[in-house]
C-alpha cells in the first residue's frame, strides 16, 4: 500500500486562501511537474469534502475516470460530478484505507488539507511531493497542522522549474 500526497503550496505553507480560492496558483503553461505520472500510478484518490467542492468548479473534471473517494460525514451531492466515478466514505483514515485495500485499491493519492493532516497523523502516508509556488500569501489554509508526534522524512529529490516552482519529494519514515 502506498499513499502519496502531491500538492502545491505557497512558500509560507498555505494550500489555499481562507475562502478556498486558488487564484494564486500558476496556470499550466505546458510545464510538466509530475502530475500525469502520478495519476497514471494511482488506483484512486481520497479527498476531503472541501476539496471535492472546489474541484467541482473546475472544467473539465480533473481526475478523468479515476475513482475518487470523498471523505465526509455529511450528505454530498454527486449530481455535479456526472460521468465521474465518485463515492462518499466516512471513518478513520485506517478504516478508509482498509476498506479500499479490500477492493484491490493499493496506490492512493491523498488530497485536501484536513485529509492530508489526518492521514499523516495516522502514520499512513509514505510519500510527500510538495511543490512550492513562489508567492507569499500571509494567511490561508495551511498544509500542515498539529501532529501527535514528529513525522520524520527522508529527502529524495528536489527539482526547480523555469517558472520558479520548486518541488521536493520526501519519503515518510516509519
Residue pLDDT, tens place only, 101-159: 999 999 999 999 999 999 999 999 999 999 999 999 999 999 999 889 999 999 999 99
Could you tell me the pTM of the whole model? Answer: 0.94
Residue 28 confidence class, pLDDT cut points 50, 70, 90: low
The secondary structure element, H or E, covering residue 142 is strand 141-142
CATH of the domain at 67: 3.40.430.10
Q: 15 is in which domain, residue-wise?
A: 2-22+32-172
Give the count of domains, the chain: 1
Residue pLDDT, tens place only, 42-94: 999 999 999 999 999 988 888 989 999 999 999 998 988 888 999 999 999 99
Does 60 reside within a domain?
A: yes
Residue 59, pLDDT score: 85
Residue 6, pLDDT score: 98
Residue 100 confidence class, pLDDT cut points 50, 70, 90: very high
Residue 135's Cβ-count burial label (10 Å; 0-12, 13-18, 19+) is middle
Task: Name the more confident of 73 and 29.
Answer: 73
Does 154 reside within a domain?
A: yes
Amino acid at each position: 500500500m502506498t499513499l502519496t500526497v502531491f500538492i502545491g503550496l505557497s512558500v509560507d505553507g498555505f494550500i489555499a486562501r481562507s475562502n478556498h480560492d486558488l487564484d494564486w496558483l500558476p496556470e499550466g503553461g505546458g510545464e510538466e511537474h509530475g502530475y500525469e505520472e502520478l495519476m497514471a500510478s494511482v488506483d484512486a484518490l481520497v479527498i476531503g469534502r472541501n476539496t471535492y467542492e472546489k474541484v467541482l468548479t473546475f472544467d473539465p473534471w480533473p481526475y478523468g475516470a479515476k475513482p475518487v473517494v470523498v471523505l465526509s460525514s455529511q450528505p454530498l451531492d454527486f449530481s455535479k460530478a456526472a460521468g465521474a466515478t465518485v463515492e462518499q466514505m466516512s471513518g478513520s483514515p485506517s478504516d478508509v484505507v482498509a476498506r479500499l485495500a479490500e477492493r484491490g485499491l493499493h496506490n492512493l493519492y491523498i488530497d485536501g488539507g484536513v485529509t492530508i493532516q489526518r492521514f499523516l497523523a495516522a502514520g499512513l502516508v509514505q510519500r510527500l511531493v510538495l511543490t512550492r509556488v513562489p508567492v507569499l500569501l500571509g494567511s490561508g489554509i495551511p498544509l500542515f497542522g498539529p501532529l501527535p508526534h514528529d513525522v520524520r522524512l527522508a529527502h529524495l529529490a528536489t527539482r526547480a522549474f523555469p517558472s520558479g516552482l520548486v518541488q521536493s519529494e520526501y519519503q515518510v519514515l516509519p
